């Protein structure tokens, strides 16, 4: 089974994936090479949002599901306070032992950004729906824990698996909206775009529905990146080549020789990479990218 995370790593650098598979470099560290972290504790934020989205979708705690939906459908005057206190009391506070003092305000800011986006999704749906009919709203929250599996036939048969951070169903456009949360500070749009394009490819193959995406880069000055259907579809055109490259890496791993695999296209990644296979001189601009 091939994960979207591994494919994404292959997109970042085929050689890095080769070394990762040979040496088992550890998943979480390696996928963040080339990205800077700030004060936001991304893992904790992911855990909180995963729990809330699971409950929103009705696949988690029934009482919390009912309370969250009720808060979302309450009057605009009280909704924000009601919803925010539910998230704080039932999801955030139980993680308080793990939250660093320096991480409190960034977490609070990230949750506000996420809530604002959530409310705008619900409002958009309510504009076209009967507000007294709760199932109409509940259906927009797809389970964030859904695992999508699909085969790709090439020289090799790849079974691909992916778990998006959150998925909405937009009943107006009849398409999915993939939400991807990034707790890192310095995130490259091109790379995340490939990750969401892979999820979109899986959703289309498994459920037959097209997707657009919203990428949350919580510590960025501009924290919300919307990717429309065209942007996602253009990126999806590169997926076939990525799968071919992944197969080449598998062959190289089996042969124990990664010397013919291409280097990363983004040389600034090499500055942080523990594999010193780089065979080109790094310029000051590559280094300064990391110090911005
Ligand atoms: S040093 Fe650069 S080219 Fe080599 S594995 Fe790391 S990122 Fe890839």
Rounded to whole angstroms, the Cα distance separating 209 from 229 reads 11
Q: Each residue of 173-218: pLDDT tens digit?
A: 899 999 999 987 777 888 899 999 999 999 998 889 999 999 999 9
Q: With cut-offs at 50, 70 and 90, classify the pLDDT of residue 291.
A: very low
The verdict on the CB of residue 13 being under 6 Å from ligand 1 is yes
Choose among 274, 245, 239, 240: nearest CA to 260: 245
Q: Which of 33, 188, 271, 273 to mutate to test the pocket of ligand 1 (most atoms within 8 A of CB)?
A: 273
Give the residue whose CA is nearest to atom 7 of ligand 1: 270
218, with CB counted inside 10 A (0-12, 13-18, 19+), is: buried
For the cut 90, the answer to whether the pLDDT of residue 268 exceeds it is no
For residue 270, which atom of ligand 1 is closest to its CA? Answer: 2
Mean pLDDT of the chain: 85
Strand partners of residue 181: 216
What are the residue ranges spanned by the domains of the chain? 42-138
Rounded to whole angstroms, the Cα distance separating 13 from 135 reads 44
Q: Each residue of 42-97: pLDDT tens digit?
A: 899 999 999 999 999 988 999 999 999 999 988 888 999 999 999 999 999 999 99
Rounded to whole angstroms, the Cα distance separating 149 from 151 reads 7
For residue 277, which atom of ligand 1 is closest to its CA? Answer: 4
| Element holding 181 (H helix, E strand) | strand 175-182
- Mean pLDDT (whole number) for 243-251: 93
Rounded to whole angstroms, the Cα distance separating 292 from 289 reads 6
């Amino acid at each position: 089974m091939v994960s979207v995370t591994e494919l994404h790593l292959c997109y970042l650098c085929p050689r890095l994936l080769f070394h990762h598979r040979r040496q088992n470099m550890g998943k979480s560290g390696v996928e963040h090479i080339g990205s800077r972290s700030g004060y936001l504790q991304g893992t904790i934020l992911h855990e909180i949002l995963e729990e809330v989205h699971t409950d929103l979708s009705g696949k988690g705690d029934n009482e919390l599901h009912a309370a969250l939906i009720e808060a979302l459908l309450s009057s605009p005057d009280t909704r924000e306070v009601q919803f925010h206190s539910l998230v704080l009391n039932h999801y955030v506070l139980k993680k308080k032992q793990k939250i660093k003092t320096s991480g409190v305000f960034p977490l609070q800011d990230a949750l506000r950004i996420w809530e604002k986006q959530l409310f705008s999704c619900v409002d958009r749906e309510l504009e076209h729906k009967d507000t007294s009919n709760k199932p109409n709203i509940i259906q927009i929250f797809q389970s964030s824990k859904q695992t999508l599996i699909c085969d790709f036939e090439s020289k090799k048969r790849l079974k691909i698996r992916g778990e998006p951070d959150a998925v909405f169903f937009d009943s107006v456009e009849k398409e999915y909206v993939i939400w991807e949360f990034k707790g890192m500070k310095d995130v490259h749009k091109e790379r995340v775009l490939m990750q969401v394009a892979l999820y979109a490819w899986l959703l289309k193959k498994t459920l037959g529905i097209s997707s657009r995406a919203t990428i949350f880069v919580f510590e960025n000055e501009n924290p919300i990146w919307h990717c429309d259907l065209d942007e996602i579809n253009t990126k999806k055109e590169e997926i076939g080549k990525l799968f071919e490259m992944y197969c080449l890496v598998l062959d190289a791993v089996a042969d124990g020789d990664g010397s013919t695999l291409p280097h990363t296209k983004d040389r600034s990644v090499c500055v942080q990479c523990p594999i010193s296979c780089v065979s080109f001189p790094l310029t000051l601009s590559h280094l300064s990218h990391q110090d911005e």
